Structure 1
Amino acid sequence: MANTIKTLLLIISSIYFFIQLSSAATYNVITYGAKPDGKTDSTRPFLKAWTSACTSSTPSTINVPKGRFLLNPTTFRGPCKNKITFRLNGTLVAPLDYRALGSSGYWILFIKVNDVSFFGGNIDAKGASYWACRDSGKDCPPGARSLTFNWANNIYLSGLTSLNSRQSHITINSCNNVLVKNVKIMAPDQSPNTDGIHVQSSTDVTITGTTIQTGDDCISIGDGTKNLFMTHIKCGPGHGSAGVKISDVTYKNIGGTSATLEAITFDCSSTKPCDDIRLEDIKLTYKNKAPTSTCNNVGGSSMGILMPQSCL
């Protein structure tokens, strides 16, 4: 009798697993005409795959296989009917000509989406020509952020590598419940305005296990941000850690090299001071000197090993 029950349970479990598999929808961008040669514009095929996934009544996966896929400015719009997973095994590349992104301000934009997850892959914004324009003093467009989320909820980003952004690599604006995990962000140390991650007007954002090597801020924090948690961050050679007009934020287990002697700066408004800021186990270095920290209109606490010495 016991063996019969076990057999029935196994059959039921197998049927349930089969139903789960059969109900999932997978969309390969190659099927929609994307070319992994890094030269053919694959913007429209990506958007077609997104439309199929977004309108699906079941959870969907968009599969990006190995190869290099050229994308012009691309906006993925929601809301969608169900959860969507991006599995990136390849690399998304921007056009070499910085003028192709124009003054849009965005390269890859997700707007009003919910329950979207990203796993692996690379995005390369090819920022060198834009930086050269900036250095020359010519009249250049404002530049584009690489990956932006506007008015999005329940976003999970894991294992992504972002290279050579023309401005911020990852921007989280007016979002709720975002997890950024095991992400690598890299740009030359002299690249201008290449913030690693910018968070603004967002709630419940966690950034963990992330390496940021850029020419500007590692993580910049705008006003209206609440419940931001950052841990195990490797930061440098940019500006190190800085925050403006923030409250209830913990900086924990952050290490790296600062581009300036002043490694930590909290420069908050006298009318809306920063409060409940917590520093724990911060290890930042600057050449052969001891780095410094500056606090203006900020209150909080600190504990553990702190380099530079806490100004709280």
Structure 2
Amino acid sequence: MFLLFMVWSVAEAKGKPKVFNVMKYGATANGQTDDSKAFLTAWSEACEWEGRARILIPRGSYMLYPVEFMGPCKGHTTVVIRGTLNAPSEAQALFFNTKWIGFRYIDGLNVGGGGTFNGQGVASWPHNDCIMNTNCQPLPTSVKFDFVKNARIHHLKSIDSKNTHFAVFRCENLNFTKVRILAPANSPNTDGIKIGGSQNVGITRSTIGTGDDCVAVLPGSSDIRISEVVCGPGHGISVGSLGKYKGEEDVRRVVVRNSTLRGTSNGLRIKTWASAFASEASDFLFEDIEMDNVRNPITIDQNYCPHGSCNPQASSHVQISNVKYKNIWGTSCSKIAVNLHCSESAPCKGIVLGNINLAHHRDSVGIASSSCSHANGVSYGQQNPSSCL
């Protein structure tokens, strides 16, 4: 009988999660009182639970100052966010913090529930002077995942981040599904999802509108899958920038499929700095993409220089190879719809343009053009504009 009881107890612990409600740890949900301690205490106890743990954040408004939910945990941890989590609106409250909410060193994480991360960035954006000031104090990322494995982030909303909405660093097997990311087009550096040094990251069935890249794939990332994403406003879906620092890791195997870009300042972009630092960016597939009034729908820019202070004699040493653009259609608000500006020192190799149909929306006959330099590859099928390969 005792043995049967023990077996039943173990099965129950594994099958039914234990709930850790932040309200029981002192959270007030009035939108003004700092609930950070209650959240951290609930996390600490949930992380120590050897079975399945579920942290519940009920409906309501919660004020959180910078918090980091640290692992490793003893079991799989789920965070169910029903309410709205608010960052302090004043920029000074978050200075010297690189992130508002962090998840770190966790294997087996599920964050969802339909709730909202409100970065309250409106009051902070005027403090972002990084374009003019190279010694600027960067504003914090809203939610950052560091060294996280086997995670799902789903059915969540992030609005008005002070800086990047979601950042992923040194993670493995992490998937975003049905997330909504919103910030005005003029909000500085509010990238939607930024991925660096990570493997096997997926983004699907999501809507992203920001003041910067909807998705940015940074050095050291591989096996990145993006599908069924609507991007706009923003700077498009970008690989890079790459080649700015010595010793950067390569970027490999990025796939973007079945997605739409609307009114973005770039479409599908690969950007590298003109520097002597060598790395590789290879094996990309951009397929079945609609462009709706997009500036620079297809672009490789190997002379990326956003602040205009680069050495005009320098050349990028990032080798770009095996990049396929297939079934890309819609309208371009720039005359040059396909712009492949590769490096003289490391010309692009294996570029493929297949069935491209991009019209210039301001032209009475809708004729756009293409421009290539140091780009080697082939084209097939419909080519509007005419291929420059």
Q: Paired residue for 1:304?
A: 327
Cα pair 1:73 1:106 within 8 Å, conserved: yes
Q: Paired residue for 1:251?
A: 256
Q: Where do residues 61-210 of structure 1 align in structure 2 (5 Å cutoff)?
A: 61-119=54-112, 120-134=114-128, 141-210=137-206
Question: Which whole-Å CA distance do the structure 2 matches of 1:141 and 1:271 have between them?
Answer: 29
**16 and 48 in structure 1: CA distance in 2 versus 1, 3 angstrom threshold:** closer
Q: Paired residue for 2:30?
A: 37
**AA aligned opposite 1:241:** I
Question: Which whole-Å CA distance do the structure 2 matches of 1:57 and 1:17 have between them?
Answer: 10
200, 216, 231: which is aligned to 1:235?
231
1:277 aligns with 2:284: yes
**AA aligned opposite 1:131:** W
Q: Where do residues 255-270 of structure 1 align in structure 2 (5 Å cutoff)?
A: 255-260=260-265, 262-268=266-272
**AA aligned opposite 1:132:** P
Q: TM-score, normalised by structure 2?
A: 0.71
Q: Paired residue for 1:8?
A: none
**268 and 22 in structure 1: CA distance in 2 versus 1, 3 angstrom threshold:** closer
Question: Which whole-Å CA distance do the structure 2 matches of 1:109 and 1:276 have between them?
Answer: 31
SS in 2 for 1:30: helix
Report which of the two has the higher share of helix: 1
**18 and 56 in structure 1: CA distance in 2 versus 1, 3 angstrom threshold:** closer
Deviation at 1:166, TM superposition (A): 0.7
Question: Which whole-Å CA distance do the structure 2 matches of 1:95 and 1:78 have between them?
Answer: 25
Cα pair 1:186 1:212 within 8 Å, conserved: yes
Question: Which whole-Å CA distance do the structure 1 matches of 2:338 and 2:10 have between them?
Answer: 55
**21 and 301 in structure 1: CA distance in 2 versus 1, 3 angstrom threshold:** closer
- Higher mean C-alpha deviation, range 15-24 or range 65-74: 15-24
Q: Paired residue for 2:216?
A: 220
**AA aligned opposite 1:63:** L
1:130-177 Cα shifts (integer Å, max 9, x gaps): 112337989973100000011111111010100110111000000001
Question: Which whole-Å CA distance do the structure 1 matches of 2:84 and 2:268 have between them?
Answer: 34
Question: Which whole-Å CA distance do the structure 2 matches of 1:279 and 1:238 have between them?
Answer: 18
Figure out how many residues of one structure are paired with residues of the other and give that number.
296
Unaligned stretches of 5+ residues in structure 2: 1-7, 243-250, 303-318, 331-336, 341-350, 352-389
Cα pair 2:14 2:52 within 8 Å, conserved: no
Question: Which whole-Å CA distance do the structure 1 matches of 2:155 and 2:64 have between them?
Answer: 20
Question: Which whole-Å CA distance do the structure 2 matches of 1:80 and 1:90 have between them?
Answer: 24
Report which of the two has the higher share of strand: 2
Q: Structure 1 vs Structure 2: percent identity of aligned residues? A: 30
Question: Which whole-Å CA distance do the structure 1 matches of 2:338 and 2:143 have between them?
Answer: 34
Deviation at 1:18, TM superposition (A): 8.6
SS in 1 for 2:161: coil
Cα pair 1:247 1:274 within 8 Å, conserved: yes
Question: Which whole-Å CA distance do the structure 1 matches of 2:284 and 2:325 have between them?
Answer: 8
Deviation at 1:258, TM superposition (A): 3.9
Deviation at 1:17, TM superposition (A): 12
SS in 2 for 1:128: coil
Deviation at 1:200, TM superposition (A): 0.4
SS in 2 for 1:31: helix
SS in 1 for 2:267: strand
Deviation at 1:290, TM superposition (A): 7.6
Q: CA RMSD in A?
A: 2.6
Q: Paired residue for 1:60?
A: 53
Question: Which whole-Å CA distance do the structure 1 matches of 2:257 and 2:280 have between them?
Answer: 21
**295 and 190 in structure 1: CA distance in 2 versus 1, 3 angstrom threshold:** closer
**AA aligned opposite 1:19:** E
Deviation at 1:283, TM superposition (A): 1.4
